[in-house]
């Protein structure tokens, strides 16, 4: 796409309701009030996005000691960046800054300054003007505004891992220049220092030292409230025993809670017609085979390092001491208990208990262990895939030798709400990153094949 990007009207999104997380919210706001950058870290679907969206909502912030009504909070979902480049980052950030100003009823010079910068970023005469437009925009805003500017950077993993590190050198320089008036809050699956270790990005990581905030699963009371909320919104009648069953199986993991609720709801609907199917034993059997439940568990499992997986397997089998206990406790995968540490949810504990860390050599071709979240190509374990890469491979794997077109890919990988948001270039970049990890020779792909004008397909070995 070069350096010219298609202009898109910024969208204003309503904040999502947040259950619990009061102490998490208060901790982050206390850092932001001091203009300290902070990083929200947590496993897949633990609630990082919901927390960031809530931070962007002034109505939510008013409930806390540091509401900062005069400041501008800008929520940026980097999954919606048009491309994972410096230009794409600035486009997404300015688009959402403009949205934040408009939603706050801002008029006049502030909006005009952002609009001018946005136009320059999407259609620059030279790439050197892209960062300059962003920096000039901040200068103009600070001349017209009295409060802080806080960028809430959601889904930051891929951006930080893939974009040229010079972007983060510039972001660090901007923070040093504006100090108490500029703040970054990131949301990632892993600490920033683990995502990228090179020297040029290390100075950006220094901004967050001592300010990593790890999101744990919801406490039982909040988990119960989430189950009840899901039932109300879905017009389902869950008994107290139903709520207890969901919390027992899913713990306080929001993504797993919703997946278990869906299975329970379907089972209850069927039980109305087939009374012999009633009972939690039948629901449990469904949970063990349900693709959504298994995928939630697989994503949690694949987020863990090998030593954490080994330690967790040792814990659920009672084989001995847990070597990586501290990191598992910090991530909320293991919870302290009077009788010893335990896995946060029975469903995930059962999943872990089924894993086999020592795998036999697989036949040639691409093989996915959906439960474990592992991918092997020609018998070798491939590097860890990002969430988007894994979803794309799962789609192709489930449609082996069949063509998957653009719309099918966007719907399965990003979600149906993104059909008009993700262009061909973004899909091509994702396919390219996947090939780098699974193809023996990425420049000459033999498994992930392009069908010109139609889409992509995964094929078996010759």
Q: Return the SS3 of 277.
A: helix
pLDDT (tens digit per residue) in 224-281: 999 999 999 989 999 999 999 999 999 999 999 999 999 999 988 877 656 555 678 8
pLDDT band at 223 (very low <50, low <70, confident <90, very high): very high
Rounded to whole angstroms, the Cα distance separating 384 from 190 reads 13
- The average pLDDT across 94-111 equals 81
Give residue-wise pLDDT tens across range 381-406.
787 788 888 889 988 988 888 899 98
Looking at per-residue pLDDT, the higher value among 6 and 398 belongs to 398
The pair phi, psi for residue 378, each rounded to 5°, is 55, 40
74 φ, ψ (degrees, to nearest 5): -120, 110
Strand (E) or helix (H) holding 431: helix 424-438
Query: Mean pLDDT, to the nearest integer, of 207-215?
Result: 94
Tokens representing 434 are 């996947």
Q: pLDDT tens, 12-62?
A: 333 336 788 999 999 999 999 999 999 999 998 999 999 999 999 888 888
Task: State the pLDDT at residue 295.
Answer: 83
Q: What are the pLDDT digits (tens) for 341-356?
A: 899 999 999 888 876 4
pLDDT at residue 59, rounded to an integer: 85
Predicted confidence at residue 203, as pLDDT, reads 93
Mean predicted lDDT score pLDDT of the chain? 86
pLDDT (tens digit, 9 = 90+) per residue, 124-181? 999 999 999 999 999 999 988 888 999 999 999 999 998 999 999 999 999 999 999 9
Instruction: Give, as one character, the DSSP assignment of residue 427.
Output: H
Strands 212-214 and 38-41: parallel
Q: So what's the pLDDT on residue 422?
A: 87
Q: How many CB atoms lie within 10 A of CB 265?
A: 18
More confident residue, 13 or 106: 106
User: How high is the pLDDT of residue 8?
Assistant: 37
Distance separating alpha carbons of residues 155 and 79, to the nearest angstrom:
6
pLDDT at 252: 95
Global pTM reads 0.74
Distance CA 366, CA 382 (A): 10
Over residues 179-189, the pLDDT tens digits come to 999 999 999 99
Split at pLDDT 50, 70, 90, the class of 333 is: very high
Superfamily of domain 22-214 in CATH is P-loop containing nucleotide triphosphate hydrolases (3.40.50.300)
Which pLDDT score, from 0 to 100, does residue 9 have?
38
Q: Domain boundaries in the chain?
A: 22-214, 220-293, 296-353, 389-458
Topology alike, domains 22-214 and 389-458: no
CATH code of the domain occupying 389-458: 1.10.10.10
């Amino acid at each position: 796409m070069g350096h010219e990007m298609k202009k898109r009207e910024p969208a204003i999104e309503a904040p999502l309701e947040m259950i619990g997380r009061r102490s998490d919210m208060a901790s982050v706001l206390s850092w932001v009030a001091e203009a300290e950058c902070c990083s929200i870290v947590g496993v897949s679907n633990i609630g990082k996005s919901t927390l960031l969206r809530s931070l962007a909502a002034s109505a939510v912030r008013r409930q806390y000691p540091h509401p900062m009504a005069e400041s501008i909070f800008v929520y940026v979902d980097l999954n919606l960046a048009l491309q994972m480049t410096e230009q794409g980052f600035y486009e997404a950030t300015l688009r959402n800054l403009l949205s934040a100003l408009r939603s706050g009823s801002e008029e006049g010079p502030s909006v005009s300054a952002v609009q001018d910068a946005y136009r320059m970023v999407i259609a620059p005469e030279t790439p050197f003007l892209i960062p300059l437009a962003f920096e000039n925009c901040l200068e103009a805003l600070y001349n017209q505004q009295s409060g802080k500017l806080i960028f809430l950077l959601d889904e930051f993993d891929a951006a930080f891992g893939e974009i040229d590190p010079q972007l983060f050198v510039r972001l660090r320089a901007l923070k040093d220049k504006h100090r108490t008036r500029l703040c970054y809050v990131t949301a990632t699956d892993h600490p920033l220092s683990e995502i990228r270790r090179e020297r040029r990005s290390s100075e950006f990581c220094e901004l967050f030292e001592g300010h990593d905030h790890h999101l744990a699963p919801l406490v039982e009371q909040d988990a119960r409230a989430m189950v009840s909320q899901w039932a109300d919104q879905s017009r389902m009648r869950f008994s107290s025993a139903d709520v207890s069953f969901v919390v027992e199986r899913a713990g306080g993991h929001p993504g797993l809670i919703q997946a278990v609720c869906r299975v329970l709801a379907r089972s209850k609907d069927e039980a109305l017609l087939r009374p012999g199917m009633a009972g939690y034993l039948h629901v449990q059997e469904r949970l063990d085979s349900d693709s959504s439940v298994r995928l939630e568990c697989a994503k949690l499992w694949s987020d863990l390092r090998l030593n954490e997986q080994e330690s967790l397997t040792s814990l659920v089998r009672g084989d001995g001491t847990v070597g990586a206990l501290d990191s598992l406790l910090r991530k909320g995968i293991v919870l302290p208990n009077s009788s010893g540490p335990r896995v946060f949810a029975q469903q995930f504990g059962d999943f872990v208990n089924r894993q086999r860390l020592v795998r036999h050599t697989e036949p040639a071709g691409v093989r996915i262990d959906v439960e474990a979240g592992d991918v092997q190509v020609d018998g070798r374990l491939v590097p860890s895939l990002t969430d988007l890469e894994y979803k794309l491979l799962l789609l192709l794997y489930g449609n082996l030798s069949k063509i998957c077109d653009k719309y099918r890919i966007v719907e399965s990988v990003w979600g149906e709400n993104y059909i008009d948001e993700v262009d061909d270039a973004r899909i091509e970049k994702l396919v390219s990153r996947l090939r780098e990890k699974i193809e023996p020779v990425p420049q000459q792909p033999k498994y992930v094949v392009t069908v010109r004008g139609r889409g992509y397909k995964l094929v078996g070995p010759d």
